[in-house]
Amino acid sequence: MREQLKFYIDGKWTDPAEMKTLDVENPATETVCGKIALGSAADVDVAVKAARKAFASWSQTSTADRVGILQNILAEYQKRAGDLAAALTEEMGAPSSLANGFQVGLGEGHLSTAIDVLQKFRFEEQRGATLIVKEPIGVCALITPWNWPLNQIAVKVFPALATGCTMILKPSEIAPFTAQIFAEILHAAGVPAGVFNLIQGDGPGVGEALSGHPDIDMITFTGSTRAGVEIARNAAHSVKRVTQELGGKSPNIILDDEAFATHVAGSVAGMMANSGQTCSAGSRMLVPNARMQEAMDIAREAASQVTVGDPNTDVAMGPVSSKVQFEKIQGLIQKGIDEGATLVAGGTGRPQDLEVGYYVKPTVFANVTNDMTIAREEIFGPVLCILGYDSVEQAIEIANDTEYGLAGYVAGADLDKARAVARQIRAGWVSVNDGFDFNCPFGGYKKSGNGREWGEFGFHDFLEIKGILGYSPEPT
């Protein structure tokens, strides 16, 4: 049983202003596995004051100093990798292979990338007699979700540190353990007091206080579009910068060629990773209508190969994160059946022999039309929708017929054709044949948010741009 009843503020573990606690549930067992303190506006005030005080000195540190701190963090992160993975499995049900692999690996990858970017980043540039300076924006509030906890902490904390900002992190109360270990890592690495602060809590208690606080200069949020709208509204009174990575209903266009079967099978497996709890998941697979039955047969077989069960064992898929999430997914699966989609695999209820835990059957629907609820709403579970198209032009039209624009995928043997399709998808992050790059900007169009994370592009939102005119004599 983990008890995390203190917050990390101003370089030390401190008691909350008022002790109020929340039980944390293990989604694989439906039992309480820990307890955290819930913060309040009073705790936010203390953390903001510490961050504001620390900003005066941290913002003036050299690039070399910040690189040194990030390298220290990398060394400590690697020491605690096993602890982080164990916490992930316990708090949000990530299978051990996923927790020890991609979940922890993403955090390390973003940290290594931030170090590399910082070493080359130009914070000053002279243009004629004018000096263009990129300066840290100030005190930042970072609000992160439960589905990829370390990834989302990493893409906010490391660019903030690298650019000279100070910060307050509020992780999801559903998956709080990794954030606590993360704070221990930064403390051990020698991050100066007040530069990084951690307050556990929920949206009403801490999120609202952060987004509306007049002495916070920027808020960066990852989560639902609904919550993002409320955060932006709350932040508007103080005219702070708001960046958001929100929902997605991403298209995955499978082109009609000799690689079709391989791409369909791989896309099914990819959709089920992390129990489908990925905002950028390719949850709308588009296939030629002439090959719909073939796609259904391939998808059925691929889904049957996805093992589901205790995340501490050798399975591909664990539970979803909570009872609320489980019930939402069940309702949407039933909605797909009711609206006439063809159920190819899975369906409602738990998988066989799994009576305890928030386990969802790997589910595939075919003959889905883009006006169905399951094609419009973000399900955030292991549910794949297969839609048909008659031409590539129609596939692109269907792909873009969504209020979201976070990600898109194109798979095809003809690279030139795949590239041409990728250019026409209205999304911020489009992957051709499963391409992946830590330096690629990540973020959305439309209701999927604003701003960009990852690599050099993740630095930009944490910087203000100052022009100093007459900095040097006019060139002759």
CATH code, domain with 267: 3.40.309.10
Q: How many CB atoms lie within 10 A of CB 453?
A: 26
pLDDT of 350-396, one tens digit each? 999 999 999 999 999 999 999 999 999 999 999 999 999 999 999 99
| Backbone angles phi and psi of 391, in degrees to 5 | -150, 160
Residues 321, 424, single domain; the answer is yes
Report d(CA 152, CA 236) in Å as an integer: 24
Instruction: Determine, yes or no, domain membership for 473.
Output: no
pLDDT of residue 213: 98
Report d(CA 440, CA 455) in Å as an integer: 6
CATH code, domain with 200: 3.40.605.10
Active site residue 245: yes
Report d(CA 148, CA 106) in Å as an integer: 9
Percent of the chain with pLDDT over 70: 100
pLDDT surpasses 50 at 302: yes
Tokens linked to 328: 């939402």
Residues 147, 231, single domain; the answer is yes
Residues 107, 235, single domain; the answer is yes
Longest dimension (CA), the chain: 81
What end-to-end distance do the CA atoms of the chain give, in Å?
Answer: 71
Residues 18, 158, single domain; the answer is yes
| Backbone angles phi and psi of 35, in degrees to 5 | -145, 135
Average pLDDT of span 396-423: 98
Strand partners, 136: 463
Tell me the pLDDT band of 475, cut-offs 50, 70 and 90.
low
Tell me the pLDDT band of 473, cut-offs 50, 70 and 90.
confident
pLDDT surpasses 80 at 476: no
Average pLDDT of span 106-123: 98
Global pTM value: 0.96
Report d(CA 455, CA 110) in Å as an integer: 7
Exactly one of 90, 245, 378, 453 is catalytic; name it. Answer: 245
Tell me the pLDDT band of 145, cut-offs 50, 70 and 90.
very high
Active site residue 294: no
Residues 395, 464, single domain; the answer is no
pLDDT of 68-83, one tens digit each? 999 999 999 999 999 9
The continuous run of DSSP H or E covering 383 comes out as strand 383-389
Instruction: Determine, yes or no, domain membership for 442.
Output: no
Report d(CA 296, CA 291) in Å as an integer: 9
* Overall domain count for the chain: 2
Percent of the chain with pLDDT over 90: 99
pLDDT of residue 246: 96
Cα-to-chain-centroid distance, residue 116: 21
Residues 416, 319, single domain; the answer is yes
Residues 258, 240, single domain; the answer is no
30 and 357 in contact (C-beta within 8 Å)?
Answer: yes
pLDDT surpasses 80 at 156: yes
pLDDT of 197-221, one tens digit each? 999 999 999 999 999 999 999 999 9
Exactly one of 25, 76, 90, 279 is catalytic; name it. Answer: 279
Q: Which domain holds residue 138?
A: 2-246+448-468
The one-letter amino acid at 19: M
pLDDT of residue 133: 98
Q: How many CB atoms lie within 10 A of CB 51?
A: 27
Please give the mean pLDDT across all residues of the chain: 97
